Structure 1
Amino acid sequence: MAIEVFNRYEKKYMLTKKSFRKLLTRIEDHMDMDKYNINGKPYTISNIYFDTDNDALIRASIEKPVYKEKLRMRAYGTPSLDDKVFIEIKKKYDGIVNKRRTSMTLKDAYNYILKDNPPTPASGKINIQVLQEIDYFKDFYKVKPKLYLSYDRYAYFEKNDGDFRVTFDTNIQTRRYDVALEKGQYGSQLLEADQVLMEIKISGAVPMWFTKILSELRVYPVSFSKYGTEYKRYVLENTQREFIENKGEIICSNQFYPQLQAVASL
């Protein structure tokens, strides 16, 4: 059945490329590279994030509530309309991440999300329960595609224990135009050239050997959201542009003014 369910803790760390290389040499005795990192090369993940007209979901998320949720469409690489993609609901409550997703072709996914035309279950590949959850989410929030976001990923799993996973994301690109997975990977860079985003994912405790390595390399957790970081940059850039166009005056009717207030309060 085309469904995956995840319940886990996730922590993020921002590395320099030098720290990234050092860390890789330290974990290679404990971890194996993901099978999708063919010949040691990263694989690409591309996403569409859905939100309301006034970006209510991401505005609520960046205020760091106890509970938050998001809806996205995800593909590995650049898909054609006939390739499989995932539609995911990702929820976070009190630090625990729950992700439920189901797969269908990109064409069916567009018809489902954009035209409210759900795919017909075939051979048990579509899970009705997950579709019902997605139905409720998209109908309640009236979502639409707002952001394309892609990145290149190196992933590692602890040897003999697939529960502990570490990922490294580079080349994070975003755009708010051509928000379509089949358009391919291009847009504005989210990170500085020397930055690598590391994320650890685990359902229990982080292994002591890994904690020791982080301490020795002086690597510490950070609060970072790809979508949230892009959104704050988007609001500030547009507010700055309109500020200049209005000759230094912020107009209260400015469509970005409420969002700017929310971002500035963080």
Structure 2
Amino acid sequence: MAIKAFQRFEKKFILNEYQYKSLLPILYEYMDPDKYCKNGENYNIYSIYYDTEDNHVIRHSINKPYYKEKLRLRSYKAPIGENDKVFLELKKKINGIVNKRRATLTLKEAERFLEFRERPKSIDYLNNQVLNEIEYYLGNNTVSPKVYISYSRNAFFGKNDNDFRVTFDSNILSRRDNLSLKSGGYGDNILSSKNYLMEVKILGAVPLWLSKALSELEIYNTHFSKYGNEYMSYCLNKTYDIRRQNIC
């Protein structure tokens, strides 16, 4: 989790319970579990996404533009103290290639930077470069905390290629209130409890053995954005509430 900058392709798949359990033994043959998946257990991810008042960032994103970017604050533990480590990330996608820039801060430093543009003192060159990029982004986009998303993750790295990664996310929850990392993960389900979001993250082509396994298990590439699906669900619920009020 010390990675600060990288770029890669990301392919997404939705798996049912049978497909997930059938694929795992194959992955163990060619891949190693993430070091944070201790004793076969998942780890958790907690994120706050930033957007404009009219949700321009996510509305632009779901239209599948050539270029898009998102700002989020992320933690791997909750509840969290103000001096605990968090990650401020600017995720960009250019013609299908994902580039993620990450600054490591304390929660207090991140909150003061986002709210008051107060730069933390750091001698880390790359950290400062990422903060420069995020500062530029904030100067051109009036954003604020908009959505909290948390989930449980099982992750693997290629035995002979650390740039090749496969992750499974489940129990994906979201909310639009109480937007604090200290509050922990709770909210509405974005994905069915019996499904898993698999992401294949790689610099080149998908390995032949994985392509063969996906074909045999009838697992097909799809488009799924956690924030995007949350926003579409939010819009549907909002439309329903408006219609209900008009009827009443």
Give the TM interval when normalised to the shorter protein: over 0.9
2:218 aligned partner, one-letter code: R
| RMSD (Å), alpha carbons | 1.3
1:133-212 map, 5 Å: 133-212=133-212
Q: Which deviates further from its counterpart, 20-29 or 126-135?
A: 126-135
Maintained 8 Å contact 1:3/1:102: no
Q: Does 1:117 align with 2:118?
A: yes
Between the aligned partners of 1:136 and 1:247, the Cα distance in structure 2 is 46
Runs of 4+ in 1 over 3 A off after TM superposition: none
Q: Residue in 2 aligned with 1:252?
A: none
Q: 1:28-49 deviations in whole A, cap 9, x for unaligned? A: 1111101100110000010000
* 1:127 CA displacement: 2.2
Residue 230 of structure 2 corresponds to residue 230 of structure 1: yes
Cα offsets for 1:82-105 (capped at 9, x unmatched):
111111110101110001111100
Q: Which amino acid aligns with 1:10?
A: E
SS in 1 for 2:247: coil
Secondary structure of the equivalent of 1:129?
A: helix
Task: Note the C-alpha offset of 1:165.
Answer: 0.5
1:37/1:119 Cα in 2 relative to 1: closer, same or farther (>3 Å)? Answer: same
Contact 1:103 1:126 in 2 (8 A): no
Structure 1 residue 125, shift from structure 2 partner = 7.2
Q: How far does residue 185 in structure 1 lie from its aligned partner after superposition?
A: 1.1
Shift of 1:119: 1.2
2:66 matched to 1:57?
A: no
Cα deviation for residue 3 of structure 1 reads 6.1
Q: Please give the alpha-carbon distance, in whole angstroms, between the structure 1 residues aligned to 2:186 and 2:213.
A: 34
Counting aligned pairs with the same residue, the percent is 48
Task: Name 1:80's counterpart in structure 2.
Answer: 81
Deviation by residue 1:196-231 (Cα, 9 ceiling, x = unmatched)? 000000011111111111111111000110000000
Unpaired runs of at least 5, structure 2: none
Determine if contact 1:3/1:126 at 8 Å carries over to the other structure: no
Amino acid at match of 1:157: F
TM-score by length of 2: 0.96
Where structure 1 has 5 or more consecutive residues not aligned to the other structure, the ranges are 249-266
Supply the distance in 2 between the matched residues of 1:80 and 1:189 (Cα, whole angstroms).
Answer: 26
